[in-house]
Amino acid sequence: MKLIGKVALALVGLILLLAAIVVVRTLTYKPAAGADLSQVKLAPAVAIDSAKAAEHLSQSIRFQTISHQDKADNQLAEWEKLHAWLQTTYPAAHAAMTREVVAGHTLVYTWAGSDPSLAPVVLMAHQDVVPVTPGTEDDWKYAPFEGTIAEGAVWGRGAIDDKGSLITLFEGVEALATQGFKPKRTVILVSGHDEEAGGTGAQAAAELFKSRGIKAQFVLDEGMAIISDNPLTGGPVALIGIAEKGYATLMVTAEAVGGHSSAPPADSGGVLTLARAVTKIAEDQAPMKLDGPGGQMMETLAPQGSFMIRMAMANRWLFEPLIIKQAAASPAGAALLHTTIAPTMLKGSPKENVLPQDATAWINYRIAPGDSSAAVMDRAKAAVGDLPVAFAWSRAPNEPSPVSSTTSEAWKMVAALAGDTAKAPVAPSLVTAGTDSRYMTGVAVDVYRFQPMVFSMETIKMIHGTNEHMSLQNLERAVQFYARLIATSAG
């Protein structure tokens, strides 16, 4: 009994010691020192006409620059009308900048700085929008391509993504040019015409810059935003994307003899072989990790979270599996921590009573930084084992972007202004979708993704959805952000 008592006492002592270590580490927890933003001198607000800016966004929505799945359905005249309208609507901006058109309809504007030794900044916003889902038109409070101004907002497809950025960027440039601002650093605007369909325009612009030897101080595009009810802190936070996931779609094909469905083969044919393969691939998920931008976001925000969040992040050596499990409870949280796998399309027989001669599945991957398309292919092949299926990419994969700095001068400027705009903490994060900026990684070391607009976790769902709209507060907030960013970085 004495021995049992001693063992029990030792266990209690170890538990108390462990608890003490956890509590002390929590109370003294500080994440790795980030950049000091307090020394950044931000340009003041500029005079703007918010009512006129709202009317301009409204007008831009009426140009139906829709990127369809089949490019033959695109109405290119709508892009040309938008271009002419931009020139008429922003005369001071067009007088200050030179304009080039690449890849047919992508716009490149250059506002030459007085000091050519300074690396330029590149600001991006695309012209095209996604279609309105057929059959949902009547679900909109206001017609999706009329740009109605009502209820303190501008309504319509593209009001946020991404004509909202395009118009507020031009409003900022117009305001600065009208007030006589002359940049020291060159400012380049890139407006891709087909971001929603692959981004060939932005790719052509990037190749143009590389051919000219342009090395930018930083690139800023859409991607993240100000979230008013961030789950980690419960309050507002400005999230800046410092990387974005890669994109790849794997085609998995099972071949078979085919024939009449009344006499199926013993092995059940290609459809069941394919189903088994897809199931094995989807069940072999990539491991989740906290060492990427998603984990960096958690670490940055943890000190402002609850005691339990601080305790978990301060003691990752003990709680990392629990942190990952909690993050993975939501699809959005899981996507921040690993490469995702999503079977999206299937093709089999053209008729219900015919066995297919081949059956194909398309599996979409969003590849996390640190992973690669080659590793994805290897994992898929290993998962299916000896099942008789063939693999091919539907098109060349886009690899994940490099991870941009959170200590550079470029980061300090963008983050300081984002924080001042949001009146909230700033944290790096990972963009799980794709943006035109992925093509600019050879143009600048630091590529950031941020829209200066406030959304809740609920309202952000309207992007690409029904009733997309930009509040007038967000409109004014974005105009000021872009104007001040140009004046701060190039003034």
Which residues are known to be catalytic? Answer: 128, 195
DSSP assignment of 237-248 equals: EEEEEEEE-EEE
Burial of 208 (0-12, 13-18, 19+ CB in 10 A): middle
Longest dimension (CA), the chain: 92
Strands (E), 146-224: 149-150, 153-155, 187-191, 218-221
Could you give the angle at which helices 163-178 and 50-61 cross, rounded to 10 degrees? 140
List, in order, residues 6 or more apart from 421 with CB less than 8 Å away: 226, 238, 452, 477, 480, 481
Sequence-ordered alpha helix ranges (H) in 424-469: none
Tokens representing 325? 């499990």
Taking the CA atoms of residue 419, residue 482, residue 430 and residue 282 in that order, the dihedral angle to the nearest 10 degrees is 140
Strand order through the sheet with 469-471: 149-150, 153-155, 469-471
Separation CA 38–CA 40 (nearest Å): 6
Token pair recorded at residue 375 = 């590793």
**What span, in angstroms and rounded, lies between the C-alpha atoms of 177 and 457?**
36
Residues in the chain: 491
CB 154 within 8 A of CB 57: yes
150 class by beta-carbon count within 10 Å (0-12 exposed, 13-18 middle, 19+ buried): exposed
Residue pair 294/431 in contact by the 8 Å Cβ criterion: no
